[in-house]
Structure 1
Amino acid sequence: MALRDFQTRHVGTVGGAIWAIVQPLALVVVFYFVFAIGFRVQSPENTPFILWFVAGQVAWTFFNDSLMSITSSVSANAHLIKKTVFPAEIFAIIRIVSGTISHLIFLAILITMLLFMGIPFQFERLLVFYYYVSMVIFVLGLGWLLSALQPFFRDIGQALGIVLNVWFWATPIVWPENIIPEQYHWVLDYNPAYYLVTGYRQSMIYQSVVWPDLWNTAYFWAVTSILFLLGAVVFNRLKSEFVDVI
């Protein structure tokens, strides 16, 4: 029995690792053929579309998957909350750590592509870790808020899926921002996901690293700080009632 359990866990771990590689690769191939070959979309800055797209998708996939996972984390762990005195806040952090593993695999695929296409390594490219930390704090704050409300409003998960789908297409991930008239670019500046996606691109795929705009950085951190504090406060206020509603 012990051997069988070990084999089951081992196969599950290997299968999960394989899917963490196959899934993003399949996504990249599909979008590449649809937008680069089918619609002939051109990326800005004279950068190959495949690099431009993958860099944006690396950031978005982590953002999307982590937020969805955190939002359902309280309800998904109802057995722990009901039976033990458990710090429910940690569920979000566990989901972030779990998502980071897949994120690093996807990031390794991008780095391999960069090396293959001759993009030079620069020490400044480590700026990408700043954007990773920025995304973690943003997702944690928003995730705590949504996961605290989800046990009381069960449709939040379904609604979030719709919002994220719209958010994806409203963010320049498969389409370049230069197709939008200049007078409407301010809309993108107020999109926190645009700051993160652009940051991944500016720090990784261009010949020279582009440092973040000061105004956009100030706005992003103002929004993120408010969300983080609001999420932490709301979660702390409501967690004592989780047992009664899940």
Structure 2
Amino acid sequence: MLPQKVFISRWNERLALIYELTLRDFQVKYLGSYLGVVWAFLHPVIYIVILWFICHFGFRSNPVNDFPFILWLVSGMVPWFFFTDSMNGASNAVVENSFLVKKVLFSIELLPVVKIVSSLVIHLFFVVILFVMFAAYGFTPSIHSLQVVYYLFAEIVLLLGLSWLTSSVVVFLRDMGQVVNVALQLLFWMTPVFWPASALPARFHLLAKLNPVYYIVDGYRSAFIDKTWFWESHRAWTLYFWCVTIVTLAVGALVFRKLRPRFADVL
């Protein structure tokens, strides 16, 4: 068989495996509930309805840059939810699937990927809701909204590197799972999800932008609200983000590869 055909065949097998494991992940997560997988899509709808109710009838929050606060808020929360859900799931992916780790021919590195894909399904549903919300408020999508695909790809690459790193370390140091939870809580308040970046004193702007998740959250808002291309308004930070992300991906892959031979012994 030609090398190209072998490569394509192996990738098709991996994609099929990711699909099967993602489906299994959904089934296990909602096993025993009457609505089953439907809960995965009800949760984001309920959460956004609650936010809308609070912003409209509770706090009556002021617009941000003349834009409805609820739209500004949700456009930042959507990528953040995807990040936290993926990290929490992927960090424990190897430990939770120890029975698969002991199979000689199984590609263990796919386990964190499955968790990311599982979270991605919900995220895409969130994005659809976001488009519907903008349309309901009279804001029609523009060609700039297509940048969501780019920022989503950027977030997945960052998540892949981080999840390979954390999932491999958790096998040997279970406390790492708790460290990830604490780190995500700290990162939440360091990222302009609930607060606008303009609220920061000028001297802290540079420090805040060193957080790679800042780039993603701000990017989603640029796509939906500011309607600017990333190479126009984020040229320097785009370069910085990809440098950090590529290093993270390389380190995560290296650590995972180094520790993988010992997984079965520990688990």
Global fold match (TM > 0.5)? yes
Q: Which residue of 2 aligns with 1:20?
A: 40
**Matched positions, count:** 236
Q: Secondary structure at the match of 1:202?
A: helix
Q: CA deviation at 1:94?
A: 1.4
Q: Which residue of 1 aligns with 2:196?
A: 176
Distance of 1:114 and 1:33 partners within structure 2: 16
Q: CA deviation at 1:36?
A: 6.6
Q: CA deviation at 1:209?
A: 3.4
Larger RCO (CA under 8 A, 6+ residues apart): 1
Distance of 1:191 and 1:37 partners within structure 2: 33
Q: Which residue of 1 aligns with 2:258?
A: 237
Aligned match for 1:160, one of 161, 175, 180: 180
Q: Which runs of 5+ in 1 are unaligned?
A: 1-8
Q: CA deviation at 1:30?
A: 4.1
Letter in 1 for 2:46: A
Q: Does structure 2 retain, via aligned residues, the 8 Å contact 1:151–1:242? A: yes
Q: Does structure 2 retain, via aligned residues, the 8 Å contact 1:53–1:174? A: yes
Alignment of 1:1-246 (within 5 A): 15-32=35-52, 38-206=58-226, 208-211=227-230, 212-246=233-267
Q: CA deviation at 1:32?
A: 4.8
Q: Does structure 1 retain, via aligned residues, the 8 Å contact 2:144–2:229? A: no
Q: CA deviation at 1:38?
A: 4.8
Distance of 2:158 and 2:219 partners within structure 1: 14
Q: CA deviation at 1:103?
A: 0.6
Q: CA deviation at 1:121?
A: 2.2
Root-mean-square deviation (CA, aligned residues, Å) is 2.1
Q: Which residue of 2 aligns with 1:3?
A: none
Letter in 2 for 1:209: T
Change (3 A) 1:53 1:149: same
Q: CA deviation at 1:24?
A: 1.9
Change (3 A) 1:38 1:116: closer
Q: CA deviation at 1:68?
A: 1.2
Q: CA deviation at 1:37?
A: 5.5
Q: Does structure 2 retain, via aligned residues, the 8 Å contact 1:119–1:205? A: no
Normalized against structure 1, the TM-score is what? Answer: 0.88
Change (3 A) 1:17 1:205: farther
Distance of 2:55 and 2:188 partners within structure 1: 15
Change (3 A) 1:154 1:43: farther
Letter in 2 for 1:145: L
Q: Does structure 2 retain, via aligned residues, the 8 Å contact 1:148–1:234? A: yes
